[in-house]
Amino acid sequence: MKSEPALFSLDDLRAMPKRTAPWDGVRNYQARNYMREMRTGDLVLFYHSNCKQPVAVGIAKVVREAYPDYTAWNRTSDHFDPASHPEAPLWFMVDVRWKQAFAEPVPLSAMKSMPQLKEMPLLRRGNRLSVMPVTREQFDAVTARRKNRCLPK
DNA sequence: GCCAACGTTGGC
DNA sequence: GCCAACGTTGGC
């Protein structure tokens, strides 16, 4: 899951009550569909986008499965969408809980150089989705990488 | 700040 | 249903 650290960082998630927050504001159908596939207990790679150094910063966990994103019904919300209604919700969100911050974040540039991540949707050219699937192998490769970052090439 | 890539909108 | 115009994303 991507977030702009200036708006909502992994530290911000950690500072929330119960270290938990709803992943609101997703207004893309594909990203929404990926969220609806998420299950309680699924682990999340937390990625900081649109900042000086884009990085995977840590891990969160899904603690509530998809439910209607009520910010879409709030006229004063930045994410207001008149097409969504309480009786027929258009947008959904999950709740995620902070789990871990990497001692050393894994930069996008490092991920690009890892052959195991060649197929990772995050690295696909022109991708703009804020929520994307990660395979177990990709997840393990990223989380292992932060321990091995000082190994010679 | 630039710009490529992509999704959405809306006229036809 | 096509597609040009537009807005947004996000790396660089």
Give residue-wise pLDDT tens across range A2-44.
999 999 999 999 999 999 999 999 999 999 999 999 999 999 9
Section A108-132 average pLDDT: 93
Q: Do strands A20-22 and A92-107 pair parallel, antiparallel, or not at all (unpaired)?
A: antiparallel
**In chain A, residues 72 through 111 whose Cβ sits under 7 angstroms from any atom of nucleic acid strand B:** none
Nucleotide nearest to A128 (CA to C1'): C9
Closest residue to C8 (CA, C1′): A128
Establish if A83 belongs to a structural domain: yes
Q: What's the domain range around A30?
A: 2-143
Establish if A47 belongs to a structural domain: yes
Name the one residue in this structure whose structure tokens are 């709803």. Answer: A22
Name the one residue in this structure whose structure tokens are 């569909």. Answer: A33
Domain harbouring A118, CATH code? 3.10.590.10
What pLDDT is recorded for position A146?
61
Q: What is the pTM of this model?
A: 0.91
The 10s digit of each residue's pLDDT in A43-89 is 999 999 999 999 999 999 999 999 999 999 988 888 899 888 888 89
Answer for A128: CB within 7 Å of strand C.
yes
Domain count for chain A: 1
Say which residues have a Cβ less than 8 Å from residue A51's Cβ, sequence separation at least 6.
A4, A5, A6
